[in-house]
Amino acid sequence: MHIVLSGSMRFIERMREVGEALEARGHAVTLPAPTPADIDPRRLHGEALVGFKADLVAAHLQAIREADAVLVVNVDAPEARGYVGASALVELAFAVALGKRAFVLCAVGEQPHQLDVLALRPIVLAGDVDAVR
């Protein structure tokens, strides 16, 4: 299965670990595109920042379009257990709208988007990538 990973870029190392585990089980994995080394998004403002983000979003949505499934790597964060941010919610909803399989790595704790995530009915893996089928 070809799986696109989503989640907060704060947790990119965990996404890489999950991706490696999935690949070891025979899955093809696409991670969010890294920021090019010559671009520091903290130095971008206004339309330059919006354009930069728009390009990243478009690339990730295209990857979802071409994949079989999306897995949100939603680990615990200071603000919530099983944190799902706005971008990951959009990506999960996009996948569901396209009829793709939808997974979240961990249970989604109380947070602003909890109901929205749960309403999409993703498969909760309870941290177990072996449950991806």
Domains of the chain: 2-32+47-131 (3.40.50.450)
The per-residue pLDDT for 67 is 99
Share of the chain above pLDDT 70, in %: 97
Edge-to-edge strands, sheet with 28-30: 28-30, 2-6, 69-72, 101-104, 123-124
**pTM for this model (two decimals):** 0.92
Residue 71 confidence (pLDDT): 99
Q: What is the mean pLDDT of residues 45-56?
A: 87
Token digits of residue 86: 């706005």
- Quick one: pLDDT at residue 109? 96
Tens digits of residue pLDDT in 61-106? 999 999 999 999 999 999 899 999 999 999 999 999 999 999 999 9
Is residue 49 over pLDDT 90?
A: no
Average pLDDT over residues 11-35: 93
Whether pLDDT at 37 is above 70: no
- Output the pLDDT for position 52: 82
**Residue 35's pLDDT band (cuts 50, 70, 90):** low
Looking at residue 100, what is its pLDDT?
98
